[in-house]
DNA sequence: CAGTGGTCTAGACCACCGC
DNA sequence: CGGTGGTCTAGACCACTGG
């Protein structure tokens, strides 16, 4: 995350700058206004000229500040149109770890089914990761992702509960395939970035059954922590898939 | 790679600009001068003011051009000192995919041993990947990487041969643990970036023996293509390791 | 066409580095 | 101290977007 990140309160004080660059301070101030929801994702912030005038600063300075937030993934600039607050992560970015080759038919669309949903108390690791007090409750989901008729990924999600209450009751069969846009629409939660941790293991009998594999079959586990705009962890996700379908490319530098 | 990348010849023409920004053209021109070896890695290029004057351009413009090359990993700026051509990749970046926990002793230093070295003709895939003509010859190395007394990674390297001739005869027992700095020192080859492709499989009996594992043990394979400053692929590498020691974290956005 | 961001200029002053 | 890159200004003009 950007180095100039401060608490919202600190960033909002209008005293100019301590030992910091002016554009760094401006970036913090603008970030705070975005996090406060002054402009919703997808909406344009005021044009450079207006911002420059209102902060009493030259155009180039405001542009440097905006560049920081663009690099941070918070803003997006469109030539001739304006500067927009970015919407969150969209795509089915879990499947990028696997190649599931469709034999026969054309590549069928991936889809998802919720296998189970329940509330329970967060254990210590979960509470720690989600920044919850001890004894907080969470929503736990099991989810099966398939391509065509072939089940391929088995997922467990842990969501902090005051925040995701709206998902605790609604009809799961009506849910979207992609959860992140739904988080945003239904709960106002924007997923901004995530960290995926990969490891190998073996399927238990129960897990294997879900995916038409055998107990002990090699398995890739992707453990994800997903964060909102304010950099709070708001989703824990564990995804299991056939290790022989695993395929991932990493760029070095 | 940067969008403004052009052939060296095209970038060197001193006719100003077609429909391109001036700083984009400047970046291309400076890139070409770097690739031609006008300044060796680690050396400083002329200061902004000198460049600006010699290209007849404002300071801000030259700074934008330099910013592009910095983002590209070709240059590095040091406040108060100068702008330097970056040295290539350094670290033991293969081990980042694995956690080899040392039981007992403190973490021993990793080291490497060359198991075999031979010349042969490149097969079609290798020639294609390395951009060689059919029938070109390559140097093939087998290498065992260990931590303390524990062998943990088994590597096969394929190097294009006119370029790496200097490695075909020298005493392999005197080689460095880290190959990339040695490529640079001995062959003048700077590794600038690489792409790693991860997949899962099982060890053959011969491979397993090298690593004190059993035939059929789960195995992660990392296939790397490494590129020099001019973006030519100059190394193919296949690394095998115990899948149960695999541990990798990927940032999403 | 008016409004937006993108490029470029020609300066000024500051902060860091090494001698 | 002189030389380097880092910040900032107050403009000008260009290129893209949409009505």
- Are A75 and A105 in the same domain? no
Domain that holds residue B127: 94-245
Q: How confident is the model at residue A182 (pLDDT cuts 50, 70, 90)?
A: very high
Whether B244 sits inside 8 A of A200 (CB atoms) is yes
The CATH number of residue A180's host domain is 3.40.1410.10
Instruction: Scan for tokens 């922590």, then name that residue.
Output: A225
Strand C closer than 7 Å to the CB of A60? yes
**Torsion angle of alpha carbons A44, A49, A55, A59, nearest 10°?**
120
Q: CA-CA distances (angstroms) from residue A160 to A119, A210, A230, B6?
A: 10, 26, 15, 50
Q: Determine the angle formed by the axes of helices B22-35 and B59-71, rounding to 10 degrees.
A: 60
**Of B128 and B111, the one with more pLDDT:** B128
Instruction: Scan for tokens 């075999």, then name that residue.
Output: B116
Dist. CA A158–CA B14, nearest whole Å: 60
- Are B108 and B225 in the same domain? yes
Name the closest residue on chain A to residue B96, using Cα atoms.
A252
Q: Do B24 and B65 meet the contact criterion of CB atoms below 8 Å apart?
A: yes
- Are A131 and A201 in the same domain? yes
Q: Which pLDDT belongs to residue A180?
A: 95
Lowest mean pLDDT among A90-104, A127-141, B31-45, B212-226: A90-104
Compute the C-alpha angle B27/A70/A98, nearest 5°: 95
Instruction: Scan for tokens 């030519």, then name that residue.
Output: B232
| Residues of chain B numbered 215-234 and touching chain A (CB < 8 Å) | 218, 220, 224
Q: Which residues of B touch A196 (CB under 8 A)?
A: 249-252
Q: Which pLDDT belongs to residue A3?
A: 41
Q: What is the mean pLDDT of residues B10-38?
A: 84
Number of domains in chain B: 2
Residue A70 DSSP code: H
Dist. CA B202–CA B242, nearest whole Å: 9
Is A6 part of a structural domain of the chain?
Answer: yes
Among residues B85, B118, B139, the one where a domain terminates is B85
Q: Which residues of A touch B243 (CB under 8 A)?
A: 200, 218, 243
Q: Which pLDDT belongs to residue B146?
A: 94
Tens digits of residue pLDDT in A40-50: 999 999 999 99
Closest partner residue to B218 among A93, A192, A200, by Cβ?
A200
Dist. CA A78–CA A82, nearest whole Å: 5
- Are B186 and B132 in the same domain? yes
| C17 C1' to B45 CA distance, Å | 17
Strand D closer than 7 Å to the CB of B47? yes
Share of chain A above pLDDT 90, in %: 82
Among residues A34, A51, A85, the one where a domain terminates is A85
**Of A7 and B156, the one with more pLDDT:** B156
User: In the predicted model, is pLDDT for residue B93 greater than 80?
Assistant: no
Q: Which pLDDT belongs to residue B201?
A: 97
- Are A9 and A108 in the same domain? no
Dist. CA B97–CA A224, nearest whole Å: 17
Q: How confident is the model at residue B106 (pLDDT cuts 50, 70, 90)?
A: low
Q: Do B51 and B62 meet the contact criterion of CB atoms below 8 Å apart?
A: yes
Taking residue A81's Cβ as centre, other Cβ atoms within 10 Å add up to 8
Closest partner residue to B252 among A89, A199, A248, by Cβ?
A89
The neighbouring-strand residues paired with B111 are B146
Q: Do A239 and B179 meet the contact criterion of CB atoms below 8 Å apart?
A: no
pTM for the full predicted model: 0.89
User: In the predicted model, is pLDDT for residue A6 greater than 50?
Assistant: no
Strand D closer than 7 Å to the CB of B60? yes
Is A252 part of a structural domain of the chain?
Answer: no
| D9 C1' to B8 CA distance, Å | 37
Q: Which pLDDT belongs to residue B88?
A: 87
Q: What is the mean pLDDT of residues A1-21?
A: 57
**Of A184 and B9, the one with more pLDDT:** A184
- Are A40 and A117 in the same domain? no
**Three-state SS at B81:** coil
User: In the predicted model, is pLDDT for residue B66 greater than 80?
Assistant: yes
């Amino acid at each position: 995350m950007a180095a100039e990140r401060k608490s919202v309160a600190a960033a909002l004080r209008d005293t100019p700058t301590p030992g910091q660059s002016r554009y760094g301070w401006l970036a913090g101030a603008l970030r705070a206004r975005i996090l406060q929801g002054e402009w919703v994702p997808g909406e344009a912030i005021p044009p450079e000229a207006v911002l420059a005038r209102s902060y009493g600063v030259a155009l180039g300075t405001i542009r440097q500040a905006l560049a920081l937030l663009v690099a941070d993934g918070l803003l997006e600039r469109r030539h001739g149109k304006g500067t927009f607050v970015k919407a969150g992560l969209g795509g089915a970015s879990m499947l990028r770890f696997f190649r599931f080759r469709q034999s026969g038919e054309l590549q069928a669309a991936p889809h998802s089914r919720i296998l189970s949903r329940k509330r329970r108390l967060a254990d210590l690791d979960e509470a720690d990761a989600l920044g919850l007090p001890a004894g907080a409750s969470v929503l736990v989901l099991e989810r099966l992702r398939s391509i065509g008729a072939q089940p391929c990924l088995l997922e467990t999600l842990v969501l902090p509960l005051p925040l995701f209450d709206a998902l605790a009751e609604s009809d799961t069969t009506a849910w979207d395939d992609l959860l992140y846009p739904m988080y945003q629409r239904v709960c106002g939660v924007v997923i901004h970035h995530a960290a995926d941790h990969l490891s190998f293991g073996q399927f238990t009998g129960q897990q294997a059954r879900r995916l038409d594999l055998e107990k002990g079959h090699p398995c890739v586990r992707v453990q994800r922590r997903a964060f909102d705009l304010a950099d709070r962890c708001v989703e824990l996700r564990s995804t299991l898939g056939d290790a022989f379908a695993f395929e991932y490319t990493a760029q070095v530098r």
